[in-house]
Amino acid sequence: MSGCFGSAAAPDTFSRKGFEPLNLLYRYVSREVLKFFSWVLILVVGIFVAVDYIGTMDEFIQSKIPLTRALMYVLLRIPFVITQFIPVALLLAVLIVFGLMAKNNELIILKSSGISTYALIRPMLVIAGGLTLALLFIAEFLAPVSTQKSNEIKYREIRKETVTSFKKENIWLKDKRRIIFIKHFQISESAICGVTIYAFDENFLLVKRTDAERGVYQNGRWSLYGAMTHSFDKTAGNYTILFHDALLEAFDFSPGDLQEIVKKSTEMNFQELRAYIHKVEEEGYDATNYRVDLYSKTAFPFVCVIMCLIGISLSVRGKLDKGLAVSISYGIGIAFLYWVFYSFCLSLGYGGLIPPFLAAWVTNLIFLCFGMIYLLKAE
């Protein structure tokens, strides 16, 4: 790296009028950042594929699914993993490139040649903007489809769950001699709404139907409220209708099982999720969790720009002149801090403590202010 802007480069090389020196600088920095970005992303994805395959190998063996389907399950998860690690890979690439430039005194040479610190931001913002668009594309068109297909393999082929069909809100389950329909599952309250239970005898004849407005999980059992039962009396040959304020039912699933079963926000693109929220709210159910996820779909991709600014600001202030290890350590620390604070804010949004829009965007705003302030002091 020192071959391009090392001590052999004359200062007047960058003092000439015109844009040729700057264009040379932009191409050099962009090429190096994209190179390290590709290496980091490939390394992270490779480690994920290996760890995920090995970690799920026991389930693969127990389910006796073909090796090709097991590998397909892991590969289908890659688009979602890429969307999560693109910002981290960009941050590490910026820190590594500018850290090495600082160590080789190339940043000092640039400043002494009249090249402003802010000139380094331009090619980085172009790269960050391009990766933001790429992240939006993957998260909108590739990741939802691949995640849905991987979950279908997970539950239907690997775990062989009792779920026969799961859509955006309608859930069908088989439980012994019963078929259970759930209109909507409220994740925040661990409650099921619009419940219908069909019970059959040994000849698969319908003998009982139970309808309930709402069900809540308590002490290992489900309490159904606003319930009505239709029971068939074989001797009399007629149905008996009873109404219940509360009715206890023992199902083979818990709220945790349903949370894995229902179609998640990661399986829907922006338009599908927005339409689903509108439908849920029209039916009178709470859609706070989904609103938080909707806003996060627009907020998260812009973290590429924020991470890029933070990486540059740390580099040009001489914080990374001790080598590659220090740059990587800074990058991992910043990424970890961002993820912790981002997850914490999303949790506040899920709990209704802060508005969904603020829950998704507040972390970006805070880190953006930090990066801008740090960068303004760099000169």
pLDDT (tens digit, 9 = 90+) per residue, 152-163?
Answer: 888 778 877 654
**Averaged pLDDT, 190-210:** 86
138 vs 101, more confident = 138
Nearest-Å Rg of the Cα atoms of the chain is 28
In degrees and rounded to multiples of 5, residue 358 shows phi and psi of -65, -35
What per-residue string of b and e applies to 111-126 under the rule 16 or more CB within 10 Å gives b? Answer: eebebebeebbebbbe
The reported pLDDT for the residue numbered 93 is 92
Q: For 118-126, what is the mean pLDDT?
A: 84
| pLDDT of 8 | 41
Which one-letter DSSP state was computed for residue 168? S
Q: How confident is the model at residue 368 (pLDDT cuts 50, 70, 90)?
A: very high
CA-nearest of 38, 36, 29 to 4 is 29
Give residue 355's pLDDT band: very low, low, confident or very high (50, 70, 90): very high
**If you average pLDDT over residues 4-13, what whole number do you get?**
43
Q: Which residue has the higher pLDDT, 55 or 291?
A: 291
Query: Are 307 and 90 in contact, with CB atoms under 8 Å apart?
Result: yes
Task: Please answer whether residues 168 and 268 qualify as being in contact, where contact means their C-beta atoms are separated by less than 8 angstroms.
Answer: yes
Q: Which phi and psi angles does 293 have, rounded to 5°?
A: -65, -35
Per-residue pLDDT at 360 exceeds 90: yes
For residue 242, the cross-strand partners are 229
Q: What angle do CA 124, 127, 132 make, to 5 degrees?
A: 120
Report how far residue 364's alpha carbon sits from residue 332's, in angstroms, rounded to the nearest whole number.
17
Average pLDDT over residues 194-221: 87
Q: How confident is the model at residue 11, as a pLDDT?
A: 43
Helix, strand, or coil (residue 140): helix
Residue 112: partners with Cβ closer than 8 Å, 6 or more residues away: 11
Query: Higher model confidence: residue 10 or residue 289?
Result: 289
What kind and span of H or E run contains 174? strand 171-175
Range scoring the smallest mean pLDDT among 35-49, 134-148, 234-248: 234-248
Percent of the chain predicted with pLDDT > 70: 86
**H-helix or E-strand spanning residue 258:** helix 255-261
356 and 349 Cβ atoms separated by less than 8 Å: yes
Summarize the confidence of residues 251-271 as an average pLDDT. Answer: 78
Task: Answer yes or no: are the C-beta atoms of 307 and 332 closer than 8 Å.
Answer: no
Cα–Cα distance for residue pair 12/133, rounded to 1 Å: 38
Mean pLDDT of 73-90: 92
Predicted pLDDT of residue 347: 93
Tell me the one-letter amino acid at 56: T
DSSP state of 193: E
Q: What is the mean pLDDT of residues 19-29?
A: 78
**Whole-angstrom distance, CA of residue 43 vs CA of residue 193:** 44
Most confident region among 45-59, 257-271, 345-359 by mean pLDDT: 345-359
- Residue 6 confidence class, pLDDT cut points 50, 70, 90: very low
Position 260 scores a pLDDT of 67
pLDDT, position 117? 67
